[in-house]
Amino acid sequence: MKEDFPILSRQVNGRNLVYLDNAATTQKPHCVIDAMNQYYSLSNANVHRAVHTLAGEATEGYEKCRSLLKERYNASRAIITSGTTESINLVAHAWGEANLEDGDAVILTEMEHHSDIVPWQMLAERKSIELRYVPVIDGNLDMDIFDASLDGAKLVCVVHTSNVLGVRNPIEDIITKSKLAGAKVLIDAAQAVPHEEIDFEKLGADFLAFSAHKMCGPTGIGALLVSESAFEKMQPFMGGGDMIQTVSITGSTYQVNEHKFEAGTPRIAEGVGWAAALEWMSNIDLEKHHSRLINIARHVKQELVSKGMTVYSQLGEKDAAVVSFTHPSIHPEDFARLLDAQGIAVRTGHHCAQPLMERLGVSGTIRASFYIYNDEDDATTFLNGIDRVLEAMA
């Protein structure tokens, strides 16, 4: 599989690249790069409006992405956005502004990415809604507190899989309980869709947000899947071309499909590239790779613990292969720079999850995240690199 990814053949600082920063962004196969190059080289035009050949090709290529998203995730509505962050902000503006009133409660968790905290804090400043946070205990959500928080809640926002810990939350249970309490559910699935197959209709959530670049697609594009009942309650918050039916000096009328929330020229090349990634991913057995990668991550965790690290990832059966750890005396950034000198790419910092860092009692961690093109050799190189850092800093 590595041969499909041109970047994995390069060297960094004289060493073969070992890329373990997949929770931040994944690498792109040849087919994605080629599809985007071909669009710009042969079919570059704006979509939806013109009748000439290039516009038709561009429209077909872009809308193919939407069709593949609906097919892959069994969704009737797929709004194309710039990524998970815009998708969540879209819910806050297009649904939250129209359907939440002063005093209504929104449930969040301490495990959320900042993108699923800040938009709701901003909305709370405008509408005086109540934000209730579910704490994290020993790396898992406190479900007793979640249950108690449901009383009177109008919306539940929860990350499917943590970008810091890799823990997969009990999403099905959360959705069932939320629905029984009369609350809508927004799932941040940015770290979920790269690792497992998701049936949006069967899952029963109202909103599912994710990004292409976490699953071998381009940066700058993502999607918001929306249930029909929630879609009917959403109002546009960006105005402009393509989202309208008619415009006059006395007023405007809007599209009734997803274009209602996609004002202006869309991310055409990115849509073409994501379509190529979705087709490529359709041939990947995610369940098989998940089993393989979680075993690699568990081995890495065991070795790190034996070397004196504190590892925060539990790596349960359904968790993503994310190993988040610290050293008792070496700063995470220093550690990462010494790994980079060996061609090993990892992520450090608070990972846009400062409330979770506070709960863990650290300012940041070192995070090694494995994906479908990683193998045992990458893990061995990483662990050897860890040994060299420890020797250098002894």
Query: Is the pLDDT reported for residue 56 higher than 80?
Result: yes
Contact 293, 370 (CB under 8 A): yes
Q: Catalytic: 352?
A: yes
pLDDT interval class at 21 (50, 70, 90): very high
Please give the domain boundaries of the chain with CATH numbers for all domains.
2-20+285-393 (3.90.1150.10), 31-281 (3.40.640.10)
Average pLDDT over residues 28-42: 98
Least confident of 19-28, 233-242, 379-388: 233-242
Q: Where are the alpha helices (DSSP H) in 232-362?
A: 268-281, 286-306, 332-340, 354-360
Query: Is the pLDDT reported for residue 394 higher than 80?
Result: no
pLDDT interval class at 241 (50, 70, 90): confident
Rounded Cα–Cα distance for residues 27 and 23 (Å)? 11
pLDDT of residue 295: 98
pLDDT of residue 348: 97
pLDDT of residue 201: 98
Nearest residue to 149 (alpha-carbon basis) of 178, 184, 188, 110: 178
Contact 98, 233 (CB under 8 A): yes
Query: Is the pLDDT reported for residue 242 higher than 90?
Result: no
Strand extents, DSSP E, 130-230:
130-134, 136-137, 140-141, 153-159, 184-188, 207-211, 222-226
Average pLDDT over residues 364-393: 97
| CA 271, 273, 275, 281 torsion-angle sign | negative
Average pLDDT over residues 24-33: 98
For residues 311, 312, 316, 319, the Cα torsion angle rounded to the nearest 10 degrees is -110
Query: Is the pLDDT reported for residue 49 higher than 90?
Result: no
pLDDT of residue 142: 98
Average pLDDT over residues 199-215: 98
Contact 245, 254 (CB under 8 A): yes
Query: Tens digits of per-residue pLDDT, 155-190?
Result: 999 999 999 999 999 999 999 999 999 999 999 999
Average pLDDT over residues 280-300: 97
Query: Is the pLDDT reported for residue 105 higher than 80?
Result: yes
Rounded Cα–Cα distance for residues 273 and 333 (Å)? 33
Rounded Cα–Cα distance for residues 20 and 287 (Å)? 20
**What is the pTM (predicted TM-score) of this model?**
0.96
pLDDT of residue 222: 98
pLDDT of residue 227: 98
Query: Tens digits of per-residue pLDDT, 131-148?
Result: 999 999 999 999 999 999
Rounded Cα–Cα distance for residues 358 and 354 (Å)? 6
Percent share of the chain, pLDDT over 90: 96
Q: Residue 200 half-sphere exposure, CB side, CA atoms within 13 Å?
A: 27
Percent share of the chain, pLDDT over 70: 100
| CA 158, 111, 181, 89 torsion-angle sign | negative
Query: Tens digits of per-residue pLDDT, 291-350?
Result: 999 999 999 999 999 999 999 999 999 999 999 999 999 999 999 999 999 999 999 999
